[in-house]
């Protein structure tokens, strides 16, 4: 962890690197006590403007922390006398890590911030500074952990039934995850201020208040990684429009669990394209799947594929699939996440599906 002094040195270095800027640390709160209402003060001169930056140092800042921080700082600034005539004072939150949602709230409230990744926001009159850099490791690690493994099954369960009160036990059953995993996910989502809570103890329930924010964060995190590997096949003597029904008959016959995704599935939930030339599906690999491919006379190809397969690692990746017109389709949420990291017009179709079927 960066010490508060290290963070102050970093923000000073960043401020001094701005064009026509000069910054000096004037006051520093020692660990022995707090009687000023802020941790430090930096006098900034930039672009002909003078600003006193009142520093509030934190280890990590999430949306649920922002309201209290802003209230404390503004309460101090409203009641404390200015130290210089015509002084422009601005609160600046300095932290090792600030989550994307917390940054957005701070910008909306015109409160400055700086994190150890180098992001800087100074909304001073006549000297507006906004530098956005990738999140530092603490936030990046939290997001990477949240959107991985069985935790994603918990998130998926919340998103397919948004704004519904649910207990840890119920969510564990719906997501096929352990109560411990569900509790860990709930703790992280509370830090991002995406949940509402009611009750206590065993009767405690949560409601996902911000499903759109969660889905946005998930799709952004997926965008940082590689798309899933595809096994490409050509199934002869069949039209792409008829292929999903053929797949269902053969996969069901061989007890191979699957779910159609990408354009072919989105088209059934919310028509958008005039035609779809390829079917993509999620499939549990194994002997049953290989026997099904044999029955389909499917051949592995590098070009001209009309079937592409995403091999899933567990049944949890097929959760919340739906039987529509005799074909198993992945959930709209899963299809959206698959489309946003695909190529061509997939991203347009993703937004159409989100608007028409997901609704947040």
> What are 65-122's pLDDT values in tens digits?
888 888 888 888 777 666 665 678 899 999 999 988 899 999 999 999 999 999 999 9
Q: Would you say residue 93 lies in a domain?
A: yes
Query: Are 123 and 154 found together in one domain?
Result: no
pLDDT at 49: 87
User: Which domain CATH number covers 191?
Assistant: 1.10.10.10
Q: Report the pLDDT value the prediction gives residue 202, as an integer from 0 to 100.
A: 80
Does a structural domain hold residue 103?
A: yes
Same domain, 35 and 68: yes
Whether 161 and 260 share a structural domain = no
For the segment 281-304, what is each residue's pLDDT rounded down to a tens digit?
999 999 999 999 999 999 999 999
Structural domain contains residue 247: yes
Residue 140 maps to a domain: no
Task: Give the chain's domain count.
Answer: 3
Render 53-83 in DSSP notation, one character per residue.
EEEEEEEEE-HHHHHHHHHHHHHHHHHSPPS
Closest CA to 258 of 329, 313, 341, 324: 329
Which CATH number characterizes residue 332's domain? 3.30.460.40
Find the angle CA(221)-CA(222)-CA(228) to the nearest 5 degrees.
160
Regarding whether 186 and 292 lie in a shared domain, the answer is no
**Pair (194, 240) in one structural domain:** no
Q: Report the alpha-carbon distance of residue 146 to residue 222 in Å, rounded.
A: 12
pLDDT band at 278 (very low <50, low <70, confident <90, very high): very high
Q: Which residue has the tokens 């405690």?
A: 204
- Phi/psi-derived region of residue 145, left when phi > 0, alpha when psi is between -120 and 50, beta in every other case: alpha
Same domain, 31 and 127: yes
Task: Note whether 8 and 131 are same-domain residues.
Answer: yes
Of 134-143, 240-249, 253-262, minimum mean pLDDT range: 134-143
Question: What CATH number did the domain enclosing 58 receive?
Answer: 3.40.1350
Give pLDDT tens digits for 24-69: 998 765 444 445 578 889 999 998 889 999 999 998 899 888 888 8
* Domain interval for residue 283: 231-358
In a domain, 37, yes or no: yes
pLDDT tens-digit series, residues 318-327: 999 999 999 9
Last residue of a domain, one of 205, 223, 241: 223
Task: Tell me what the mean pLDDT of segment 159-174 comes to.
Answer: 94
Express each pLDDT in 121-160 by its tens digit. Answer: 999 988 899 999 988 877 778 888 999 999 999 999 999 9
- For residue 6, pLDDT over 90 is answered with no
Percent of residues, the chain, with pLDDT higher than 90:
67
Q: What are phi and psi for residue 299, nearest 5 degrees?
A: -115, 135
What per-residue confidence (pLDDT) applies to 64?
Answer: 85
Contact (CB, 8 A) for 296 and 305: no
Residues 218 and 253 in one domain: no
Mean pLDDT of the chain: 90
Q: Is residue 142 part of a domain?
A: no
On whether residue 141 sits in a domain, the answer given is no
Q: Are residues 218 and 250 in the same domain?
A: no
């Amino acid at each position: 962890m960066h010490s508060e002094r290290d963070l102050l040195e970093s923000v000073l270095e960043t401020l001094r690197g701005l064009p026509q800027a000069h910054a000096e640390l004037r006051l520093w709160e020692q660990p022995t006590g707090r009687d000023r209402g802020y941790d430090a003060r930096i006098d900034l001169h930039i672009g002909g403007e003078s600003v006193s930056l009142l520093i509030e140092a934190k280890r990590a800042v999430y949306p649920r922390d922002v309201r209290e921080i802003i209230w404390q700082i503004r309460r101090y600034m409203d009641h404390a006398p200015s130290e210089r005539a015509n002084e422009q004072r601005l609160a600046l939150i300095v932290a090792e890590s600030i989550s994307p949602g917390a940054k957005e709230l701070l910008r909306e409230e015109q409160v400055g911030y700086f994190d150890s990744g180098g992001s800087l926001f100074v909304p001073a009159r006549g000297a507006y500074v906004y530098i956005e850099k990738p999140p530092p490791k603490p936030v990046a690690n939290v997001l990477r952990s949240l959107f991985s493994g069985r935790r994603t099954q918990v998130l998926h369960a919340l998103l397919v039934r948004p704004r519904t009160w649910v207990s840890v036990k119920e969510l564990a059953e719906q997501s096929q995850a352990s109560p411990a995993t569900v509790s860990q996910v709930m703790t992280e989502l509370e830090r991002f201020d995406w949940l509402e809570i009611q009750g206590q103890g065993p009767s405690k329930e949560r409601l996902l208040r911000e499903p759109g924010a969660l889905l946005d964060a998930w799709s952004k995190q997926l965008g940082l990684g590689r798309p899933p590997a595809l096994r490409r096949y050509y199934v002869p003597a069949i039209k792409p429009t008829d292929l999903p029904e053929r797949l269902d008959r053969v996969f069901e016959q061989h007890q191979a669990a699957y779910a159609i995704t990408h354009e072919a599935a989105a088209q059934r939930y919310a028509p958008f394209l005039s035609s779809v030339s390829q079917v993509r599906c999620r499939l549990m690999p194994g002997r049953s799947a290989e026997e099904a491919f044999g029955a389909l006379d499917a051949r592995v190809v590098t070009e001209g594929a009309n079937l592409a397969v995403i091999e899933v690692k567990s049944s949890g990746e097929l959760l919340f699939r739906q039987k529509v017109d005799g074909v198993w389709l992945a959930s709209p949420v899963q299809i959206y996440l698959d489309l946003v990291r695909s190529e061509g017009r997939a991203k347009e179709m993703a937004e159409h599906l989100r608007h028409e079927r997901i609704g947040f």
